[in-house]
Structure 1
Amino acid sequence: MTLTEQEILRYSRHIILPEVGGRGQQRIKSASVLVAGLGAAGSAAALYLAAAGVGRLTLWDPAPLAEADLARAIAHDRAHLGLSRAASARGKVTAINPDADVLASAEPDALPGLVNGHQVVLATAGDWEAVQAAALRTGAAAVFAGVRGAAGAVFAHRPGEPCLGCVPPEAREAAGLQPEEGGGCAVAAAAGVVGIAAATEALKLILGIGAPLTGRLWAYDGWAAGSREVPVTRRADCALCGRA
């Protein structure tokens, strides 16, 4: 997929990077990413993926936008209160990248089916096990990001590598790697850090560069201004990928 003159100018700071270049930016433009959850972390991830030039974005979130979301979910504004968070976020995502094909879905049961046809799924909410199972079936890469208070975590999966089901439950709990649920508490800036880290992982998977967070869980602690990694190995008895 070729870049227009306007896109070459817009993404010039990407294109001059040796890790990206013109071909890499074309890959980003050709990419399709499903963002599941448009709360605190998901909002940041969606906006940065749009700004990076991802050509097709599907936004899934059936939750209605509430006043409490506005303090931490930067893809929304007060004018959209009561709309689904997917529909609300679509406006700002489209404003950042008007050339992108942006679809919003608020169907509660649609998430696993939406994985099909996307290169990467970035999940901050929803049924993560169903998302991971769908990614295993379709060959999509997956990025999971969770935030709790000022702590959060990111984990990535590519076919053939340890999946979400291989992460010990106690490690997920300790790191805050859990899907966002109604009423969840998160420090806005910390959620932004985690969401942007997740978006970076998605871009690395699209471009095939760097060292993605596969086989390791990245845990961030905003209060301590530090992070750590937890190794994750593939389990033969994993309920999700053990037979894959």
Structure 2
Amino acid sequence: MDTLDEMNDNQLLRYSRHILLDEIGVEGQQRLLAGHVLVIGAGGLGSPVLLYLASAGVGTVTVVDHDTVDRTNLQRQIAHTEERVGQPKVLSAAASMAAINPEVRVHTIAERADAAMLDTLVARADVVLDCSDNFPTRHAVNAACVRHGKPLVSGAAIGLDGQISVWDPRGAADPCYACVFPPSAEVPEVRCATMGVFAPLVGIIGTMQVAEALKILAGFGTSLAGRLQMLDVRRMEWTEIRMGRDPACPVCAGRHTEEHGPTSS
């Protein structure tokens, strides 16, 4: 990892438009260069996420996805190309990232994420981005983030509807994913293969996920923790719901008190 004084001329030029921003500057860009982001999923949401993480100069990105590129993906999964149909999505995405920024270290795992894998990978990351498409994986990712105290940026998109939030276990009042979407709830699985998805929608939600991750890494602004934003593309209308931690949550209940002691009243 380069120190602040060792950012080279190429990096100063490449990231100059970030450095010009008062909220980022040289120090904020250096935090991005030192950052490690874990991305679960290299499909519709994962594609813009991975490309922008690379372009922004996040130093290390680990991407997990067991799937291969299919021709039906190309309508919206912009990290992949016609020539890579049949290839593992993680390798296809890594090639696209390298074409944008060869300095980013990309670790690829062409497997389905499970609890044991996530326990190891989440512990090593600074921020986790959930770009998966099923509730079991989302709950497994959330549980690992709660266990290791890592901020989670979660997005979802189906049909013409999208949503995004940040689930940050470091905040005493902020909920985790399970506080709002309990693991015991019976939620029907909806897949793009059966429901369809509007191509630009995954780009909108995915780029917002990256924006939240970069803010957390660089240390500026206010995250979406405690707020769930939902987009209806039909009217291009956003709805926001404010949320608090569920004291009876089966995943995070009592964790903050156990780690930091009881708060005074």
Task: Select the residue among 151, 162, 175 that pairs with 1:162.
Answer: 175
Alignment of 1:14-93 (within 5 A): 14-93=18-97
| Letter of the structure 1 residue corresponding to residue 246 of structure 2 | R
Does structure 2 retain, via aligned residues, the 8 Å contact 1:124–1:180? no
Task: Select the residue among 230, 236, 242 that pairs with 2:241.
Answer: 230
* Post-superposition offset of 1:111: 4.0
1:75–1:86 distance in 2 versus 1, CA, 3 Å = same
Equivalent-residue separation in structure 1 for 2:247 and 2:150 (angstroms): 21
| Cα displacement string for residues 79-126 of structure 1 (whole angstroms, at most 9, x for unaligned residues) | 211122112111001111100110111121334432120001101116
| Cα displacement string for residues 25-53 of structure 1 (whole angstroms, at most 9, x for unaligned residues) | 00000000011111111101111111111
1:216–1:194 distance in 2 versus 1, CA, 3 Å = same
* Larger Cα-atom Rg: 2
Alignment of 1:79-118 (within 5 A): 79-108=83-112, 109=114, 110-118=117-125
* Post-superposition offset of 1:181: 6.8
State how many pairs are aligned: 240
Q: Which residue of 2 aligns with 1:185?
A: 196
Residue 147 of structure 2: SS of its match in structure 1? helix
* Post-superposition offset of 1:182: 5.9
Equivalent-residue separation in structure 2 for 1:173 and 1:133 (angstroms): 18
| Letter of the structure 1 residue corresponding to residue 61 of structure 2 | L
Q: Which residue of 1 aligns with 2:220?
A: 209
TM-score (norm 1): 0.92
* Post-superposition offset of 1:183: 5.3
* Post-superposition offset of 1:205: 1.1
Q: Identity rate of aligned residues, in percent?
A: 37
Equivalent-residue separation in structure 2 for 1:186 and 1:102 (angstroms): 28
| Letter of the structure 2 residue corresponding to residue 152 of structure 1 | G
Stretch moving more, 95-104 or 80-89: 80-89
Equivalent-residue separation in structure 1 for 2:217 and 2:192 (angstroms): 28
Flag structure 1 segments of 5+ consecutive residues without an equivalent: none
Does structure 2 retain, via aligned residues, the 8 Å contact 1:217–1:232? yes
Residue 124 of structure 2: SS of its match in structure 1? coil
- How large is the RMSD of aligned CA atoms in angstroms? 2.2
